[in-house]
Structure 1
Amino acid sequence: MARRARAKQELDTELADLPPELRWREWMGRVEAVIFASPEPVGREVLARVVGRDCNLDLIIDDIRGELRGRPYELVAVAGGWQHRTRKSFADAIRTATGLGTETKPLSQSDALILMCIAYFQPITRGELGQFFSKEVSRDTIGHLRSLGFIAAGPRSPTPGAPYTYVTTPGFLSHFGFDTLRDLPDMEALEDAGLLSKEKLLAGDIPIAGGEADDFDDGASE
């Protein structure tokens, strides 16, 4: 811990002895290196540790993105930070060569609908979710979404019994390529595309694929 603290103190972030152009290039290199080395999206507060006080991180990111144009990977804003990701147009090539890039977190139709409800109406209890589907949402379904890292327990509901609520996680944002929840598709846009009816959703009139009734139970709400 002491060694890490010394290294942090010894890093010259201001680079006052360098001409402006070289200083900017060094900051760009540091920011890209930190993002490249991290398996998770890197937030602004982390990147601020390696650049000067007057460094505009948004302009740094813009310049890095500019240099990556035409490359098979890009710098994307996800889950409140930045991350290097290969471009979608190369997914088939990566999958063919390595087997990577395949869907590792499959969702049934009912799982996806429940996750969608949590994303749009969070914080929400299991009982409230059941009202959308006119059936109780099973603990197993909630557990499955939690095991995938898409949802987590939120604050207790102020309703009688103070049941747990559920909210989406940074892992949800990262997996689906959202920077923040504000990036979720607009309800009206989904309705215009025929993918969702808000009236049917609120009325609990949502079709669930046959053979998936086991995703629901009649247990007590949580």
Structure 2
Amino acid sequence: MSDTDNAPRDSLFEPPAMAEQERMVEAILFATADPVTVKELGDRMPHGSDPAEALVSLRKRYEGRGVQVVRVGDAWAFRTAADLGYLMQREVTETRKLSRAAVETLAIIAYHQPVTRAEIEEIRGVAVSRGTVDQLLEMDWIRFGRRRMTPGRPVTFVVTQAFLDHFGLESARDLPGLADLRAAGLLDNRPSPLAATGQDEDDADALEAGEGQSELFED
């Protein structure tokens, strides 16, 4: 047997070079509309790959570019640089407004998550319409969280990754403070008209329509 036969052979499962792994991560993020987690990247890449390290390198390469690799919750995606967002305004084809009730409910969930329906109603001072919650669920801006370990084990609500992505947030901790919202004119100091009347949302459709539609979470 020759020395060549005794020489160690490269493993068939040896991972690609890091430069190639970086290209793979780039291709996956570019082709996927929704943010992708590190685990999902690893599942698609060859055995032994290190998508987390490839992401670090890829982020550095796109720093200062018009398109950047950004974190959305626990996932990653290509997004237009924040300072160039104004260039994309003409690409928005759908303008979807929420009622004041939906805005208030969404804001409470975002700032107090995880929160139950009863807690939302206690904060707002009015019953929460099932239609309001259903609308937010259908928009994929909120989802069901863990059940509370209290009598009845009520379900909680939390905001989704789609909500964070829509508003360019890495996590709910990046939400602006209430003072910032008021300073920007996105939140006023008036109490909710529903809370003032003690009516529930289903009995106050006319009042909601009279107040107009809030633009706090407008596309």
Pair in the same fold by TM > 0.5: yes
Q: How many residues align?
A: 183
Are 2:52 and 1:57 aligned? Answer: yes
Change (3 A) 1:56 1:160: closer
Q: Which residue of 55, 64, 69 corresponds with 1:75?
A: 69
Following the alignment from structure 1 to structure 2, what is the Cα–Cα distance between the partners of residues 169 and 67?
A: 29
The whole-number CA distance in structure 2 between the counterparts of 1:62 and 1:115 is: 33
Give the equivalent residue in structure 2 for 1:201. none
- Letter of the structure 2 residue corresponding to residue 149 of structure 1: D
What is the aligned-residue identity percentage?
33
Give the structure 2 partner of residue 48 of structure 1: 42
Out of 138, 145, 148, the position equivalent to 2:136 is 145
Residue 165 of structure 2 aligns to which amino acid in structure 1? S
- The amino acid that maps onto 2:201 is F
Q: Which residue identity is paired with 2:192? A: I
Q: Give the Cα–Cα distance (whole angstroms) in 2 for the partners of residues 127 and 29 of structure 1.
A: 48
Quote the Cα distance in structure 1 between the aligned partners of 2:159 and 2:179. Answer: 25
Distance in 1, Cα, partners of 2:132 & 2:200: 6
The alpha-carbon deviation at position 168 of structure 1 amounts to 2.0
Match of 1:107 in 2: 98
* Aligned-partner residue type, residue 170 of structure 1: Q
Q: CA deviation at 1:82?
A: 0.6
Partners of 1:133 and 1:206 within 8 A in 2: no
Q: CA RMSD in A?
A: 3.3
Cα distance in 1 between the residues matched to 2:147 and 2:50: 41
- Among candidates 201, 215, 218, match of residue 216 of structure 1: 201
Q: Which runs of 5+ in 2 are unaligned?
A: 1-11, 184-188, 204-219
Post-superposition offset of 1:105: 4.3
1:66 and 2:60 aligned: yes
State yes or no: 1:119 paired with 2:110. yes
Distance 1:159 1:54, change over 3 A: closer
Q: Whole-Å Cα distance in 1 between the matches of residues 33 and 23 of structure 2?
A: 18
SS at match of 2:122: helix
- Give the alignment's TM-score, normalised by structure 2: 0.67
Maintained 8 Å contact 1:41/1:78: yes
Q: d(CA) in 1 for partners of 2:78 and 2:174? A: 19
User: Which position in structure 1 is the counterpart of 2:25?
Assistant: 31
Any conservation in 2 of the 1:173–1:181 contact (CA below 8 Å)? yes
AA of the residue aligned to 1:208: S
CA distance in 1, matches of 2:49, 2:26: 18
| Distance 1:73-1:141 versus aligned 2 partners, 3 A rule | same
Q: Does the 8 Å contact 1:141/1:215 carry over to 2?
A: no
Bigger mean CA offset, 162-171 vs 140-149: 162-171
1:147 Cα offset (Å): 1.2
1:136 is paired with a residue whose SS is: coil
Structure 1 residue matching 2:69: 3-state secondary structure:
strand
Decide whether the 8 Å contact of 2:141 with 2:159 is kept in 1. yes
Q: Retained in 2: the 8 A contact 1:110–1:215?
A: no
Structure 1 length-normalised TM: 0.66
